[in-house]
Structures are given as C-alpha cells and as structure tokens.
Structure 1
Amino acid sequence: MNLIIDRKAIHLGIFILIAFLFSSCRSTKNMTQNERIGQILLQIQPPSLSTNKLLLTDFGGKGDSLYDNKPIFDKILSACKTQNGGRIVVPPGVYLINGPIHLVDNTTLDIQKGAKLVFGTDAADYLPVVPTSWEGTLLYNYSPLIYAYQVKNVVITGEGTIDGNGKEGFSRWYDRQKPSQQLSRQMNHTDVPVKKRLFGKGHYLRPQLIQFFECENILIEQVTITNSPFWCVHFLKSENITARKVKFNAFNKNNDGFDPEYCKNVLIEDIEFNNADDNVAIKAGRDHEGRQTAMSSENIVIRNCRFKGLHGVVIGSEMSAGVQNVFVENCTASGFCKRGIYLKSNPDRGGFIRDVYVNKVAFQDVEDALFITSYYHGEGKGFETDIYDIYVDGLTCRFASNAGLVIQGYPTKKVRNVHFEHVQIDSCKTAVSFRHTENIVLNDVVIGEEVKIPSAVK
C-alpha cells in the first residue's frame, strides 16, 4: 500500500486549525458582553410542547380539593412513558395530590388558568427516598414534590398554580433539621459514599418543591409557585434550561426562587419574584464534595426580572466547584430586597467566582446594594475562594440602610479586578467598604448626594 502525502492539504488543514483556535479564543476572551450572551442563548433551545394531549379528568382526575389525584397522575405519567411523551392538561379546579409527581421524558405538565395543584402534608407519602441534594450535599431524601430525574424534554407550563402546602407540612421541620443537616455535612467532608447517605424517615430535611436532577432541555413558564416546603425550583446537574414568566409568592423558610446548581446554559427571564429568601441563588456544591465534583455552574443569563424578597441575585454560599459566566441585565426591584447583588463564600468552600456581569439593574430600598464576601458567617479555613473579574455597569439604588458597595476579600486571596461604572446610590449609611482587595476600578460612581460645581470664595 502506497502512502501519498499531499503537502498542500496538510498546509490547508493547519491553516483551518489555526483559524478555528483563533475563533475559539475570540469566543471566550475578546467578545463583547452582548456577543457572549448571544453565544449562550444559541445553546439554549427550549423543548416544544408535546402534541399528544392527555386530559387529567379523562383519567379520573377530580379538582374538588378533596379527592386524592396521586394515583391519577401515576396512571397518566405511565401512559406518557408508554406513548413516548404527552401533554398532561390540568383543567380548572383544585387538585389534591398526596405524594410526589415524577415526570418522565418528553412530558409537558400544562396547568391551565384556574387550576391549582395542592400537595398533601403526610411526609410518609413522599417515601421511598430518592437521589437528591440538600444544601450542596448529594444524598437520598424525601422526594421533591415535583421531581424529574435523568429525563429529557420536560415542560411545566400554564397559568395555574403549584401550591406546596409547606406551611401546614414540611416547613414545620425547620427547627428540627439541625442534627441531620450537620450529619449531611459530615458525610460530605468524610467522603461517605452517596448511596450510604440515607435520610428520609427519622430525619427532618425538607424536600424541594420542584427539582430537575441530571436533566436536559427544561422549560418552566407562566405558572405561579407558592407555599414551598424548602427551595422552590432546584435545577441540579442539568443543562439547557429556560425559565420565563414565572410568578413566586413563597414566604416560608428558605423559599429561594431558582437555585441552579452544577448547571450550564440557563436562561431566567421576565420573572415576578416575591420570596422570603433569595430570588436567584447560583450554587455549585458544598466543600469537599463540590471541589471533587468540579462541575462549575456557568453560562447563566438573568434578565428582565422584577426582584422582591431577601436578596436579588446571589452566588453561593455553596459554590465549591466554581461559578462563571453569569450575566444579570435589565432587572428592577418591585419591592424591598435585603441585598441587591450578593456574592458570598468562605474559606471552607474553595472554588472560584469569576466573569460576572451586572448591567442596568435598579433597586429601591435595600440594606446593602452590592456585597461581595470571602468570609461568609466569619468562619472556615484552608480553602479560600478565588473571586475576580466582576463587572458592574449601570447599578442604581434609592436607599441603602447599611452600605452601598462592600467587598471583603481574604488576606491570602484578595478579591481582584472588580469594575464599577455608572453606579448611583442616592442615600446610604456607608458608601464604600473595601478590605483585602486589588485593582478595584470606579468610573462615574456617585454615592449620596452628587457634588456639583464647587462653591466660590466669599
């Protein structure tokens, strides 16, 4: 066999390779913010609604607030699995469900206007335990109320309401969770196999209302989410996620809105938040397990939202695998937020927070407008977080009762390369508090009443 070498083809191949590498380099470092956002959005394609329409009432469902629709949902989801998907239509009514809904591939849950799903409060109905996570540690626990595990092409839509009934149920466990919470962290730190991290009966870790775990192609839109037992919507180790036009009225303990964790390619837009906790909290695992997993949360776009609750956008504190490429733009506050933008970690976490862009975000009354800390809760040692390349352009706030801009680095790992431009905070107690920082740039920043033309000598 004769081997013929075409030198021209080799040269052409090398040229194409160099061009590709140059293009890739351009895509990561030299693109504008709009170009980078555009590149992320090209990778996010929401799944389409199934044309196989299945009416819940045709399977025996009753929206009288008394009848247990759990067996009906099990039956209709079994039909979806057999038929390779389906659009489950929930007509107006109040549907009691004594147990979790476990979604399957290619399924749309269409909760129509006037329809409400209300979950039962007997904890035993949410057993057996399932693979899940709790505050950044993987384990087995009570099933989330709506749960999707290792599925693709899943939609939750409609103008109806999902009521977790947490106030009357799991939320009462808040004061009893500490021993199991500490045990989960100990198992994390000592690398106990996940299959041996069995919680559930005898433990008091509240389940999430909605969780997508190791899923692809997710859309959640229009629904109203209320009365969650714990976090409202948890995206875990999932990708290609769209959340839009969702409304939150969630006031129980730890009622975060969206918690993307170990996730990539996420679009959160046009959301009406009203949460007792974080509106959006971006996470990436806790401590030892997060560092070992090394699956960063990345390519997350949050835009055109209305914030209200504890904090607007948070990164951390469980973020040990790292968070990068986060864009927050064109958002406002519809009410009070304790903190507007909050990046938090401590020296137990490790990991990094980098390439965060905040553009054209307006808050009203807050405690702190922007707060970055490497020493959350004043605890931890040995694994400092690297926080750098944070860009804020167009942040406004009416009143900050505590501070305008706060950055707290760590003595051995300073927060660096933070750029503030076009920032205006009308009134606050402390304008700026920066410690253990490096290369902090301020341009066109006014905190307090603007000083204008200097007075003349009299």
Structure 2
Amino acid sequence: MVAGFDLFDACVDADAATLYWDKPDAAAPGTCYAIEVDGAPAGTTTRTHLTLEGLAEGPHRATVTMLPAGTDRPVRLGELTVRVPPAKRDIVVTAAPYHAAGDGVTLNTAAIQQALDDCDAASRVVIPAGTFLTGALRMHSGSELHVAAGATLQGSADPADYEPRVWSRFEGVERLCYASLITIGTLDHAAGFTTRDVRISGPGTIRGGGAALARAETEAERARIADQLAAMADYIATCENEDTVPARARGRLVTIANAEHVRLCGPSLADGPSWNLHLIYSRDVVTHGCAIASRGVWNGDGWDPDSSENCVLFDTRFDTGDDIVAIKSGKNPEGNTIGRPTRHVRIFDCSSTGGHGIAIGSEMSGGVEDVRIWDCDLSRSLYGVHIKGTPKRGGYVREVDVRDCTVAAITVHAVTYNDDGEAGPGQPVFERFRFERVHALGRQWRGDDAGRAVPAVLLVGFDEPGHEVRDVTLRDVTLGGVDGGSGTMELSHVAGLTMERVAASANPTTKVD
C-alpha cells in the first residue's frame, strides 16, 4: 500500500460513477492521476476524484495510477469494482396519486411524504421543475430523493410544520428539537445503524426556512420554557446572547442519524434554520458536487459530522453563516459517557466564499481522530482550520493532517464560549497534527471588507501538565504575504513542535490586533 493511501471508492448510479481516492503522501501539487476502466484509459485529472459517464450496466474494474510530476514512473494506487445499477423507476410527485403543486404556495408535505413512503430500492422520488413548499419529511432505507434541474424543495417558515419534535442532538447534548426538513434515521446513541442505502441527488435546490424559521422556532421555544429561562437569569447573562438556550431547539436542513451508506450527490443545500447537514452516530456518508449556503443564518454551519465514522466531503462550495464544516462528538460528561468518536474523515477539493472555516470542536468530548484535509481553499473564511475545545470537555483531537491548502489561519486553542454544564473528567488532549504545504494568510476574511490581521499560526494548549498541544509539524508553511495579513505565530503550552521551511512574508504595514 502506498503511504497515505487507503481510500478508493465510488458514488454510482445509472447515469454516472464518481471515483474518489486519498491523496498519497508522495503526491505533490500538480500530480496527475490516470484512471482506467476495464483496461482502457478513461480519463486523467490533477484532482483526487473523477466522474465517468456512459458506463454500461453491470460491474467494471477501475484502477487509479499516480503520475508524479517530473518523473515517467507511474505508481499504481488501487483497484475497485464499480457496479452500475439499472435505471430506477421515477416516482414524480406531481403525478397521480400525489398531485404535488410546484407553485411555491401549496403545502405539499403529505403528498411528498407519501411518495417517499412508496419508494423502494428500484425507485426514486423526483421533484420536477418548480418550487414545492413542504414541512418535515422522512426517508427510509433504500429510498432516493432526486431534485431535478429547475426544482426547489422549499421548507416552510412555520414551526408547526416541523412538529412533533424529535429526539436529536444539538451542540453536543441530546434533547428534543424541531424536526429537520429531511430526516434520515432515528437517533439512538445505544443502537447501531438502523437506516441504510439512502441517496439524495440531482442538480436542483433543497432550501430551508432560513433565518425566518430560525427566529420563529427560537421564539416558540422561548415562550415554552419562559419559567426555566427566568430561573436561569444569572446564567443567561453569561451566554453568547439571549437566544443561546432557546435556539438549541431549532431543527436542521438535513439530519442523518444512526444511518450508514448515505450519499448526497449534486444538489444545492441552503438556509437550514441552524446547521445544514448534521451527521449523528452514522457511518459511510459521502457528500460531493454540492453547494452549501446559509449566509445570514446564525449558527448556519454547512456540514457537521457528529460521533460519526468514514465521512467524506469533496468538490463542494460553501458560503455559510458559521463553520463551513464542524466536526463534533458530544459535550462534557454526556459526550464522554456516550463515547462515540468521530473518525476517518476526508475533506478535499472544497472552497468557501464566506463562513468560519473547517472547525474541529468545540463539542469534541467523545474524541476526534484521523481527519485528512487537502486541496482546499479557505482563504475567504474567518478562521481557516480551527481546532477548539474548552477545558471542561475532556476527550481528544488527534491525527489531523492538512496538506496543500490555503487557509485564513491555523488555530488550535481553548475557547470560552459554549461552556455551560458540568465539567468532564479532565482537560482535552490535542496531539499529532501535521500541516504541510499550507499557506496561512493571517487574515480573517469578513466578507465585504478586507478582514483583519490575526496570527497566521495560533497554538495555545491547556494549562494542565500533559494537556499541552503536542506533536505538531509545520512543514513548507508560508505565513502572511497578502494585503491585510500577518506573518506572526503565537505559541503557548506547546510540547513537541517541529518546523521545517516555515517562511513568514507578512505585509510589513499590517498590525496584529
């Protein structure tokens, strides 16, 4: 096995097969890959994914070979059997017996839900061109929702359309929340995977109720727990704002819970009332070819794997109201006790035009390990790569590898927000991080303005002995070098820092505040 290469898989339907693979340790920028199918050349690419169209139904043997720059010696990476299924039967929601209306006014929840209930493994539910207003929907094992070109599945802005509430997890704590626009699976941290083989596809748009729904759900929850909030007045005064507690009842755009082998291929996903995609206690979830947007939505995260395994995200563009990605695993004693880590996460060929960046934490009490990020442009983000936790969390973050990326900054530190509740058994452990061929600009991108200068690298560990940030490698890292950026580093409570070819080239007129 080539070092750093252990992923080679495909998202496949009757129309196309998208192959994707790990970036080997030996691959430098500009490395080319050649793909063969059944022994014949099928394409080349400098990315670590390739979509093939026109494959006949049945099995095909695909291979990927690395062609390192400056050499004529190819390196065969792996081989995969790709099975192209037969075309599915379309269940079109406007047809009988469903008669959904794409006028943007008619509430179609019952009609679309019935179509989803009628969907079997040989079928897919099709949302055709038009705007289809709906409340909460559920998908079962073996079902597919296809949002066609020109189609918008539009979530309503009425909290009543997302009742009854469901058992969920928000900011690391299990609780009742409003249902999401689309829910796959039923949450149970003590159970295995109860929902399988679900697909959301197509070039159309799935749009939530956005900021209007977020406000309505928050106000409804505020009224419901008014007495509790009054009794917590002293605590509420320490929170981020007066919405911190009641807003935890909000649903998401798509929730995937206790599910495995889920594919989200192609659609634009926008404006959930909080996070857009939330993966909880799930395994083998792949998202690619999407656009995820939620600017203007508070806590509007993009893609959040939470106590989940084997999660892959690639070829996706973000413009979000909070983290574009937030990797989580529970909060404080509950997260420690449930003890389900998030691990084996791959993120590549992604970019943002707004949002906070790729975060790990702050809810990471169940542990996070084996995260690989490559070929991402996070220059237009607030924090870049942001590994964070509070001293109460316990748990760990380890084995994070970031290569060939441009980021606003590299930040690993303790934070003070979202720190309510009982403390866990000890401070977190942050260890074994590698940043290689990364350009850290030292600039928080704030959208319309030029941003502000911050340390390009901030490593601040915890103050308990043994809980420093440990074993960090910075190799071929460039700091600053852009207008408004900074070439500085700030280090505290760090043990085992290796730096090779780290070059600061900040704008000398920039001042860090």
TM range (shorter): 0.7 to 0.9
Corresponding residue number in structure 2 for 1:340: 384
Corresponding residue number in structure 2 for 1:314: 359
Shift of 1:74: 2.0
CA-to-partner distance for each residue in 1:385-419, whole Å, 9 max, x for gaps?
A: 00100000011144521111001111211111000
Separation in structure 2 between the aligned mates of residue 132 and residue 151 of structure 1, nearest angstrom? 16
User: TM-score of the superposition, structure 1-length normalised?
Assistant: 0.80
Separation in structure 2 between the aligned mates of residue 126 and residue 408 of structure 1, nearest angstrom? 41
User: TM-score of the superposition, structure 2-length normalised?
Assistant: 0.71
Corresponding residue number in structure 2 for 1:406: 458
Corresponding residue number in structure 2 for 1:198: none
Where structure 1 has 5 or more consecutive residues not aligned to the other structure, the ranges are 1-26, 185-201, 452-458
Corresponding residue number in structure 2 for 1:374: 414
2:480 touches 2:487 (CA, 8 Å); kept in 1? no
Selected match of 1:52 from 68, 73, 89: 89
Separation in structure 1 between the aligned mates of residue 312 and residue 86 of structure 2, nearest angstrom? 18
For residues 166 and 429 of structure 1, do their structure 2 counterparts lie closer, same or farther at Cα, with a shift above 3 Å needed? same
* SS of structure 1 residue aligned to 2:333: helix
Separation in structure 1 between the aligned mates of residue 462 and residue 83 of structure 2, nearest angstrom? 40
For residues 378 and 148 of structure 1, do their structure 2 counterparts lie closer, same or farther at Cα, with a shift above 3 Å needed? closer
Which runs of structure 2 are paired with 1:123-202 in the superposition (5 Å)? 123-149=159-185, 150-173=194-217
For residues 117 and 46 of structure 1, do their structure 2 counterparts lie closer, same or farther at Cα, with a shift above 3 Å needed? farther
Instruction: Name which of structure 1's ranges 71-80 and 371-380 shifts more when overlaid on structure 2.
Output: 371-380
Which runs of structure 2 are paired with 1:422-433 in the superposition (5 Å)? 422-427=476-481, 428-429=485-486, 431-433=488-490
CA-to-partner distance for each residue in 1:362-388, whole Å, 9 max, x for gaps?
A: 13xx3xx11101344496865200010
Q: Which amino acid aligns with 1:92?
A: A
- Higher fraction of helix: 1
Q: Which amino acid aligns with 2:114?
A: K
Corresponding residue number in structure 1 for 2:73: none
Corresponding residue number in structure 1 for 2:446: none
CA-to-partner distance for each residue in 1:142-169, whole Å, 9 max, x for gaps?
A: 1111101132111111111111022222
Shift of 1:289: 1.1
Q: Which amino acid aligns with 1:207?
A: G
1:374 touches 1:385 (CA, 8 Å); kept in 2? no
Separation in structure 2 between the aligned mates of residue 158 and residue 447 of structure 1, nearest angstrom? 44
* SS of structure 2 residue aligned to 1:208: coil
2:472 touches 2:497 (CA, 8 Å); kept in 1? yes
Corresponding residue number in structure 2 for 1:75: 114
1:50 touches 1:108 (CA, 8 Å); kept in 2? no
2:480 touches 2:486 (CA, 8 Å); kept in 1? no
Shift of 1:62: 1.3
* SS of structure 2 residue aligned to 1:60: coil
Shift of 1:336: 2.2
Separation in structure 2 between the aligned mates of residue 331 and residue 312 of structure 1, nearest angstrom? 10
Separation in structure 2 between the aligned mates of residue 46 and residue 343 of structure 1, nearest angstrom? 38
Instruction: Name which of structure 1's ranges 441-450 and 399-408 shifts more when overlaid on structure 2.
Output: 441-450
1:279 touches 1:307 (CA, 8 Å); kept in 2? yes
Which runs of structure 2 are paired with 1:219-368 in the superposition (5 Å)? 219-251=263-295, 252-333=297-378, 336-363=380-407, 366=408
Percent of aligned pairs sharing the same letter: 23
Corresponding residue number in structure 1 for 2:146: 110
Greater relative contact order structure (CA < 8 Å, 6+ sep):
1
2:293 touches 2:302 (CA, 8 Å); kept in 1? no
1:431 touches 1:448 (CA, 8 Å); kept in 2? no
Shift of 1:170: 2.5
Instruction: Name which of structure 1's ranges 412-421 and 398-407 shifts more when overlaid on structure 2.
Output: 398-407
For residues 227 and 379 of structure 1, do their structure 2 counterparts lie closer, same or farther at Cα, with a shift above 3 Å needed? closer
In our comparison, the structure showing a higher alpha carbon Rg is 1
For residues 384 and 85 of structure 1, do their structure 2 counterparts lie closer, same or farther at Cα, with a shift above 3 Å needed? farther
Instruction: Name which of structure 1's ranges 426-435 and 102-111 shifts more when overlaid on structure 2.
Output: 426-435
Q: Does 1:447 align with 2:504?
A: yes
Selected match of 1:87 from 97, 104, 124: 124
Q: What RMSD in Å do the two structures reach over aligned CA positions?
A: 3.1
Separation in structure 1 between the aligned mates of residue 311 and residue 86 of structure 2, nearest angstrom? 19
Shift of 1:440: 0.6
Corresponding residue number in structure 1 for 2:431: 388
For residues 280 and 45 of structure 1, do their structure 2 counterparts lie closer, same or farther at Cα, with a shift above 3 Å needed? farther
* SS of structure 2 residue aligned to 1:338: coil
Separation in structure 1 between the aligned mates of residue 302 and residue 155 of structure 2, nearest angstrom? 18
Q: Which amino acid aligns with 1:431?
A: T
Q: Which amino acid aligns with 1:309?
A: G
For residues 168 and 78 of structure 1, do their structure 2 counterparts lie closer, same or farther at Cα, with a shift above 3 Å needed? same
2:398 touches 2:433 (CA, 8 Å); kept in 1? yes
Corresponding residue number in structure 2 for 1:417: 471
Q: Which amino acid aligns with 1:71?
A: A
Q: Does 1:211 align with 2:251?
A: no
Corresponding residue number in structure 2 for 1:188: none
